[in-house]
Amino acid sequence: MKVIFRVDASLLIGSGHVMRCLVLAEALSKKGHQVEFACSPLKGDMRQFIRERGFNVITLAEPQRNLEPQHDADYEAWLQKSVIEDAQDFLAAVKAADLVVTDHYAIDADWQEKVAAVLDCCLFAIDDLGRCHRAELVLDQTLGRSAIDYASSNTKALVGSEYALLRMGFSNKREAALSRQLSDESLRVLVSMGGIDAPNATLKVLKNLCCKVNADFTVLLSSRAPHFQQVSAWCLTQPNVRHQEFVSDMASLMLEHDIAIGAPGTTSWERACLGLPNIVIPLAKNQQLICEQLVKHNAAVRVEIKDIPSTLYGAFMRVLEGWSQFKEANLTLCDGRGARRVIFEIEQLVSKKRDGVFLQYASQDDIALIYEWQSHPDTRKYALTPNVPKWSEHQTWMLKKLQSTSDYFYMVINRVDRSKVGAIRLDRMESGHYLVSIFVDPNSYGKGVAFQALNAIDAIHPDVTLHATVLKANVASQRLFKKARYHQVDEETYIRKPID
> Tell me, what's the pLDDT at 126?
98
- Ranges for all domains in the chain classified under CATH 3.40.630.30: 354-496
Is residue 246 very low, low, confident or very high in pLDDT (cuts 50, 70, 90)?
confident
Is residue 14 very low, low, confident or very high in pLDDT (cuts 50, 70, 90)?
confident
- Distance CA(470)–CA(263), nearest Å, equals 48
What angle is formed at CA 290 by the lines to CA 365 and CA 14, rounded to 5 degrees? 145
DSSP codes, 213-228: S-EEEEEE--TTSTTH
Q: Are 470 and 494 in contact (CB under 8 A)?
A: yes
485 pLDDT more than 80: yes
pLDDT in tens, 328-385: 999 999 999 999 999 999 999 998 877 899 999 999 999 999 999 999 888 888 777 7
Is residue 76 very low, low, confident or very high in pLDDT (cuts 50, 70, 90)?
confident
pLDDT in tens, 135-181: 999 999 999 899 999 999 999 999 999 999 999 999 999 999 999 99
Give the rounded percent of residues in the chain with a pLDDT score beyond 70.
100
Q: Is there a binding annotation on residue 185? A: no
> Tell me, what's the pLDDT at 194?
87
Is residue 184 very low, low, confident or very high in pLDDT (cuts 50, 70, 90)?
confident
Long-range contacts of 372-379 (CB under 8 A, 24+ apart): 373/422, 373/423, 373/439, 373/440, 373/441, 373/442, 374/439, 376/442, 378/442, 378/445, 379/439, 379/442
**Domain 170-331, what fold?**
Rossmann fold (3.40.50)
258 pLDDT more than 80: yes
> Tell me, what's the pLDDT at 203?
98
> Tell me, what's the pLDDT at 352?
81
Question: Does the CA dihedral 149-152-158-163 come out positive or negative?
Answer: negative
> Of 335, 332, 409, 330, nearest to 174 (Cα)?
335
Q: Is there a binding annotation on residue 174? A: no
Residue from 17, 104, 227, 257 carrying the catalytic annotation = 17
- What single DSSP character describes residue 413? E
> Tell me, what's the pLDDT at 414?
96
> Tell me, what's the pLDDT at 72?
74
| H-helix or E-strand spanning residue 344 | helix 338-350
> Tell me, what's the pLDDT at 224?
87
- Ranges for all domains in the chain classified under CATH 3.40.50.11190: 2-163
Strand 99-103 to 2-7 pairing: parallel
Statement: 354-496 belongs to CATH 1.10.620.20 = no
**Residue spans of alpha helices (H) in 237-337:** 250-255, 267-273, 288-296, 308-321, 323-331
43 pLDDT more than 80: yes
Architecture of the CATH domain 2-163: 3-Layer(aba) Sandwich (3.40)
What angle is formed at CA 175 by the lines to CA 174 and CA 180, rounded to 5 degrees? 90
73 pLDDT more than 80: no
What is the model's pTM? 0.91
Q: What is the mean pLDDT of the chain?
A: 94
> Tell me, what's the pLDDT at 387?
84
pLDDT in tens, 379-437: 888 777 778 899 999 999 999 999 999 999 999 999 999 999 999 999 999 999 999 99
> Tell me, what's the pLDDT at 100?
98
Mean pLDDT of 67-84: 85
Q: Give yes or no: 17 in active site.
A: yes
- Ranges for all domains in the chain classified under CATH 3.40.50.2000: 170-331
Q: Please tell me the number of Cα atoms within 13 Å of 401 on its side-chain side.
A: 23
Q: Are 470 and 478 in contact (CB under 8 A)?
A: yes
122 pLDDT more than 80: yes
Mean pLDDT of 10-20: 91
- Distance CA(139)–CA(346), nearest Å, equals 11
Q: Please tell me the number of Cα atoms within 13 Å of 236 on its side-chain side.
A: 6
Mean pLDDT of 180-185: 90
